[in-house]
Amino acid sequence: MTKADIVNEISKNTGIEKVTVQKTIEAFMETVKNSLVKDKNVYLRGFGSFIVKKRAKKTARNISKNTTIIIPEHFIPAFKPSKTFVGKVKNNVKR
């Protein structure tokens, strides 16, 4: 499902204009990004958490040049779904 699909679905279910829904979704995503940049996690009860994870310094290999490189410690954004969300997906997804 793409962002456009989400906008269409929310607009159809709520009766709110697509332009308004799109602005709201864009504002939500921007707020989440800005919070994570400021090292503030975002918690959405019943859905999950947008968190910042720390990756430790590690040694890696560049196999094309056969050299060793050091990847410094860095931070990455991550999403951790809530237990109820995980439970719904586990019990309802059929492949």
In this prediction, residue 31 carries a pLDDT of 97
pLDDT given at position 45: 95
CA 92 from chain centre, in angstroms, equals 22
pTM strictly above 0.85: no
What percent of the chain has a predicted confidence (pLDDT) above 70?
99
Nearest to 24 by CA among 33, 16, 15: 16
For the chain, what are the domain ranges?
A: 1-40, 51-95
Segments of the chain scoring below 50 in pLDDT: none
pLDDT tens-digit readout, 60-75: 998 898 899 999 999 9
The side-by-side arrangement of strands in the sheet containing 74-81 is 42-44, 48-55, 74-81
In 1-95, alpha helices (H) = 3-14, 18-37, 83-92
Query: Which residues are 76's β-sheet partners?
Result: 53
